[in-house]
Structure 1
């Protein structure tokens, strides 16, 4: 009965968000309270003398605060970096660097790669808007269909948006399934690996299918050079890439510093580094510290002027964006705490005992389907990542997804990848990104469904296939 109540609560979250247009934060929190109260009522009706959830308010507050404590600053720093990249012209500079390397001979490949890079720190919606003029100018210069370039760009952006931190959605999902700060670098590494074939699938769809579809987009009224001039003097290539690459490098160094190389006489781990070196590298490699250093590189390397406009207005806009994500993530943490306070996990474990098809790869496919249903129904990839990871976290041991590969929580990491793949399926009319792509490329609704919606379906399916293959090898 409690499991049925959870399903009803999830349906309520989706319905309230999609049909009533209630903000995801309020829909998750409201459904959490409803689920908790009905769970206690169910216990009472079944003759249980004390409430199944002893203190609902304490559990909700604890779950909400616990998630924000572990991930709040990471989301804030990552979002601020993205805002600076967006407003300073650094994202355009990164695009220019890629175009310089590839030239005009492979414009669709260039757009896929540009999108894949830019969306690691920048939300895919913003990234598409930023690079839309580049797409139009490149279409005019090369004669390639603007629909082809638009879908190549959108699918490149989408691949890393749902799979690779420091984008807030994957960070929140990783935290919700129990991956600590020391495991975040491995989420990035595996996310990059999975996102490459996903972006490639989107690129192939753009070339083979979208290329044959019509668009009503006028010719570009400005060249790429004229578009660049809007930003004045662009930052250097190093300054543009540094806020993304430096934190990743630092987290990698921190992970290497904590790599076990053996055990001592007391069976304690011997790490690769020790003493001051270990302390320093561990400090620099902690995700919150690494991203703060990346933010400093963005502030001192990218801001055209450090004045009220950049240091206050740009930062305020970034903080506002991050606050929304943090609140939704915190609400997901509250729901997760309530779920963990119920006997659902034990019940599901009893259902799965002896059912090998639901363990490992089978469990990942189930998780993918849950994320896909939530994404398709309510539109937000980030909300799908948060809600799905919250739901499945207590179930991971039963699904065989708490496996470790040495010190790497590979089962949890693959869970995040399965959720991210499901959170792509599918982008349609209830998704703001669908409208950004279709309107900035002047696609009709029918064309947008065939070009963008089906492309996201192909990407999601490709993602879960890659995750399943990795699971067969690593689990």
Structure 2
């Protein structure tokens, strides 16, 4: 019954948001209440779980979101990201930009926490979107989805990849050898296929794009400053910061996080590196750098104005993200993973292809129910690890299949979904297309390659 009630809760939330047009926060809380009461958690435990889930997700991403959004707001106000987009467009051209972004995010940045990647990359995607025409925001959103999340489950040292490898006893070198080509091809091919789907009229800007007022006001303010800069007096005109210097807040943050993650993956246990590479500290250092640059180039008044807009956007994102974490906590409390363990633990001695499809299905079902890629991947690996000796397929292949399944159809019960919707400035319907559809597509696209790989290793 847990699976049935979970399905009813998720379908109900989607219906409330899309059909009845109920605010996502209210819809998510209604879904949490129904699921907790319907599965027998009880009134007090349901409320406690909702509160605990909100608090838990805030512990993980609250400061990351706050620092990242504020840093992005300051850098947007300084024009740093816009100038970077202009440079990328000149070098790559608008048609190549989405593919370049998905490839780079998949192969180079899996060490960076996915929420951090989204916070840092979303302003770039929004700035580049107008250059790609009517489907620009949809295309850039899909490229971010494929790039960030494919790397997360396939490429070392992505958290999902490392977790799966550890539970199944797969050497990280083996996962890296198999995961990099699978991840790169999956990300680029998914972006290509999604682009062709967009050409068929899949994206409707009028219905699929819906930026928050805070985000629109922030961009309008930056555009106004850009248009009026020539009319300002020399005394009040902003100082021009070199592009490389203006990007240092982001670059320093990324280097700090990546250094510790790579060192950890290499087995270099260092308290200092863990401290320096902590994402919270790294983003705070970036925020501090952006603040100092903004004060020097724009003055105190304009800097404070940009921060105020950033605070407005942060509050909206934190509330939706926290309630998304509440739904995940309620689902976890129902014990759905135990039901799946009982259902599949007896499956052994199956053909290679069936074993791969089974691993994919378990992870996909868990992800649809729980809403967390990492939790789904870890739970699926934990379920299948005891029967690995009975399966006639390498553990690395099963690990890749689990990663592909855990990627499937990221949707409304994930905090990442609501962050994506708000930061990209798309409606819930738009996020279902640029994120849910794209992750489902990437999950399916990777399966034939994983099966083909199993035939040669």
Q: 2:103 touches 2:187 (CA, 8 Å); kept in 1?
A: no
User: 1:131 aligns to what?
Assistant: 128
CA displacement at 1:284 relative to structure 2: 0.7
**TM-score normalised per structure 2:** 0.62
Indicate the RMSD between aligned Cα atoms, in angstroms.
5.4
Q: Select 1:109's aligned residue among 85, 96, 105.
A: 96
Gaps of 5+ in 2: 106-115, 153-157, 167-178, 205-222, 230-238, 388-395, 413-419
User: 1:308 aligns to what?
Assistant: 301
Q: Does residue 1:255 correspond to 2:261, yes or no?
A: yes
CA displacement at 1:228 relative to structure 2: 11
Aligned residues: 378
1:235-294 deviation digits (Å, cap 9, x = unpaired): 423234333332222122223444575xxxxxxxxxx35xxxx33222111111112122
Q: Distance in 2 between matches of 1:327 and 1:410?
A: 38
Q: Does residue 1:62 correspond to 2:55, yes or no?
A: no
Q: Select 2:384's aligned residue among 388, 397, 400.
A: 400
CA displacement at 1:300 relative to structure 2: 2.6
Which range is displaced more, 69-78 or 110-119? 110-119
Task: Summarize the Cα distance change of 1:258–1:155 in structure 2 as closer, same or farther, 3 Å threshold.
Answer: closer
Q: Distance in 2 between matches of 1:318 and 1:192?
A: 38
1:369-388 deviation digits (Å, cap 9, x = unpaired): 787xx8xxxxxxxxx9x835
User: 2:233 aligns to what?
Assistant: none
Task: Summarize the Cα distance change of 1:77–1:235 in structure 2 as closer, same or farther, 3 Å threshold.
Answer: same
Q: Does residue 1:202 correspond to 2:191, yes or no?
A: yes
CA displacement at 1:159 relative to structure 2: 3.5
1:139-185 deviation digits (Å, cap 9, x = unpaired): xxxxxxx46877765543453465679xxxxx9999xx9x9xxxxxx
User: 2:86 aligns to what?
Assistant: 96
Gaps of 5+ in 1: 41-50, 136-145, 166-170, 180-189, 216-225, 262-271, 375-383, 404-408, 426-430, 439-447
User: 2:73 aligns to what?
Assistant: 83
Q: 1:9 touches 1:32 (CA, 8 Å); kept in 2?
A: yes
User: 2:108 aligns to what?
Assistant: none
Q: 2:151 touches 2:183 (CA, 8 Å); kept in 1?
A: no
Task: Summarize the Cα distance change of 1:236–1:245 in structure 2 as closer, same or farther, 3 Å threshold.
Answer: same
Q: Does residue 1:295 correspond to 2:287, yes or no?
A: yes
User: 2:23 aligns to what?
Assistant: 23
Q: 1:162 touches 1:421 (CA, 8 Å); kept in 2?
A: no
Q: 1:94 touches 1:240 (CA, 8 Å); kept in 2?
A: no
**TM-score normalised per structure 1:** 0.60
